[in-house]
């Protein structure tokens, strides 16, 4: 198996992916008028916030699941020379494994505590021994390895 990827590079790749998908989430939220960032002291619409969260979770999970299952890489990982691999044999994760990994990462992110969950889940790799796994990697039994 190739060497494990550096946690700092993993974080940068995740930030790139979050920006790429976040732009699409914002555009779709705006187009469907469910963006939750409208400020109106007289009217609070929880359905807009839930609508934006649904768009976010579907897009982030689809992006992560499809690209990870297809090539083992999101665009951020590809650009920074990394890929996701099964812990037991180094192969590209299946759709089911990729979906588990994405669900653990993105469902809490979209509906609950985006910043805190992202720091905990992904930041776990900075302290995990010996495989540098984030919590989403632990759940899916995957690791992130260098490709170059």
118-136: per-residue pLDDT in tens? Answer: 888 888 999 999 999 999 9
3-class SS of residue 80: coil
Match 């989430």 to its residue by tokens. 25
81-111: per-residue pLDDT in tens? Answer: 999 999 999 999 999 999 999 999 888 876 7
pLDDT at 139 over 60: yes
**Do residues 69 and 39 touch, judged by C-beta distance below 8 A?**
no
Q: Burial level of 125, CB count in 10 A (0-12/13-18/19+)?
A: buried
Distance CA 90, CA 142 (A): 8
Q: What's the longest Cα–Cα distance across the chain?
A: 58
Check residue 43 and give its pLDDT.
58
């Amino acid at each position: 198996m190739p060497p494990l990827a550096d946690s700092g590079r993993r974080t940068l790749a995740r930030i790139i992916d979050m920006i790429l998908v976040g732009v699409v989430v914002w555009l779709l939220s705006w187009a469907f008028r469910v963006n939750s960032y409208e400020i109106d002291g007289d009217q609070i619409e929880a359905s807009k916030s839930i609508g934006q969260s649904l768009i976010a979770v579907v897009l982030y999970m689809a992006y992560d699941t499809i690209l990870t299952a297809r090539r083992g890489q999101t665009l951020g990982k590809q650009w920074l020379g990394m890929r996701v691999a099964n812990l037991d044999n180094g192969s590209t994760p299946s759709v089911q494994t990729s979906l588990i990994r994405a669900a653990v990462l993105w469902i809490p992110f979209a509906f609950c505590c985006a910043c805190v969950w992202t720091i905990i889940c992904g930041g776990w790799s900075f302290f995990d021994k010996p495989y540098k796994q984030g919590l989403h990697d632990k759940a899916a039994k995957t690791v992130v390895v260098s490709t170059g």
